[in-house]
Amino acid sequence: MSTSDEEVTTSITIDKEISSNPSGTRLTISARLEKVVKVKKEFVKYKKDLFAQAVGGVITLCFALSYALIFCLAIPIAMIGMGATYIDQCPAEKMIPLYLIVAGVVTLISSSVKYILDDDNTCFECFQFCWFIAGCVWVYSLKEPSFNPGDKFFCNQLLYHFAYWIITLPFLELAVLILLFVVFLCFQDVANYPV
């Protein structure tokens, strides 16, 4: 039904309601005005709800795609490569290169089990969580590593910074998700605000 058909139908409905009322023309104008205002408010509410749902859908899709491409393939492969390349270049904390290798391998295996076999393996997820906590301890305990090869607290600069950001990335992702959730709630709140 087109907009003009809706207007005619609304007008006919209002005219029928008014014709049953004996008070006359003044009620006709006020009744039409009330009906137009009510229809406009409902349309604006519908439009805002639709916009908030579209924003939520786009955000979800973007995160799902970026998660699948970046976190399931590229980062685990880079973790394995960095850990293997610099295996003996962090005597200040020898577990950092090992952490990267094991975390990368377990993430790739877990992703394969999850997507190829379509099965969730809680053992892998539990191990990943515990290994992540251990990685946080190993990386964050090295507050000021030396980047000079002869020092006691030497750790390769590239290896350390890579491990630091790999450990910090999930915390940043959580912060961004919380921020986007708050923005989404604000859109929902605005969409439900009476006009």
Give the separation between CA 5 and CA 148, rounded to whole angstroms.
Answer: 80
Neighbours of 37 (CB within 10 A): 11
| C-alpha distances in Å from residue 67, one per residue of 62, 74, 111, 173, 182 | 8, 10, 11, 10, 20
pLDDT for the residue 25: 47
Check: pTM over 0.75? Answer yes or no: no
Q: To 5 degrees, how large is the angle CA 37–CA 41–CA 42?
A: 120
Average pLDDT, 10 consecutive residues per value, the chain (195 residues): 48 50 56 74 71 76 72 85 94 94 90 73 84 95 88 91 93 92 79 58
pLDDT for the residue 10: 47
pLDDT for the residue 19: 52
How many helices (DSSP H) and strands (DSSP E) are in the chain?
A: 6, 0
DSSP string, 1-55: --HHHHHHHHHHHHHHHHHTSTT-HHHHHHHHHHHHHHHHHHHHHHHHHHHHHHH
Q: Are 83 and 101 in contact (CB under 8 A)?
A: yes
pLDDT for the residue 39: 75
Q: What is the CA radius of gyration of the chain?
A: 30
Burial class (CB in 10 A: 0-12, 13-18, 19+), 95: middle
